[in-house]
Amino acid sequence: MRLSVLDHGHRLRARLFLGATSRMAGVDSPDIVKMLLYRPGFFARPLLDLTAHAMRGPSFWTAGEREYLAMCTAQLHQCSFCHVTHTELTRLAAHGEVDPDDPSSARPELRAIREFLDTVSSTPDQARAVDLPRRAVLEALHVNLVWNVVNRLANAFGFELRDGQLETGTRSLHRFGYRFPAFLIADGDRADHGGLVDNLRHAVFNAPATTDTALRQAVATGDSAPEPWQRYAATVRDHSYRVTDADIDQLKSAGHAEDAIFEITVAATVGAALRSFDAGREVGQE
């Protein structure tokens, strides 16, 4: 990964867990797991709470259909790491109800919500209401919010899928329903700030961290921020697949610590994802 702290900066409990699971599986822990276990109180704990609910909680959409929507979001962001992962998860969870290689196999409701989410993710200002129950739209927007975050982070941090990780990683995600052991993510504010989405919003933009809340809020919305943050955050928000090692090296050369780069990348990513979510929720209530 592009930030060494995401490989080697974990707390002791996380290092022990990563080491034990890697030995049991015979492969290194996936980059996504390493990232989520690094400083979970900053954003990973509320994100995981939202993810478990969105992907495996009660829903109008089956688990396989939600994996299919996650796969489609990854395709939109040109995130090969997530696309390959959720293609396999769709096969595991769908039980033949939708073929990840054949969009026409999806039921009409799934095709309609996919088109809606594609618009919400890429051009939120152009989103229009879709003829589906409000509950179904909101549940799909929760799925979309999660993967609009994760896809951008995977691109920005340079996630790689290594030999053996696809099979072991997807089976674990499917088996445990995106839930991590509580002791691994027991960190940070546990208060309820209005719901799962609001808890994520508060953790990233309002809770104390290495960087100022004003800077995190600015890069999230696209407001003026000092360079090189302004340019970097815009790339993360709009074209995360274009982030390169050179972009990260430039931030380090400017004197920014990896913790600050981590926080600003997360803030830019969550800000862009929330813009899509808020736009979709607004038109979904029309």
- Sequence ranges of the domains in the chain: 1-286
Give dist(CA 72, CA 66) in Å, integer: 10
pTM of structure: 0.95
pLDDT value, residue 220: 96
Give the up-direction half-sphere exposure of residue 1: CA atoms within 13 A in the CB hemisphere: 25
- The whole-number pLDDT of residue 285 equals 65
Report the greatest alpha carbon distance in the chain. 52
Per-residue pLDDT of the chain (286 residues; tens, 9 = 90+): 999 999 999 999 999 999 998 888 888 899 999 999 999 989 999 999 999 999 999 999 999 999 999 999 999 999 999 999 999 999 999 988 999 999 999 999 999 999 999 999 999 999 999 999 999 999 999 999 999 999 999 999 999 988 888 888 788 887 888 888 889 998 777 778 899 999 999 999 999 999 999 999 999 999 889 999 999 999 999 999 999 999 999 999 999 999 999 999 999 999 999 999 999 999 976 5
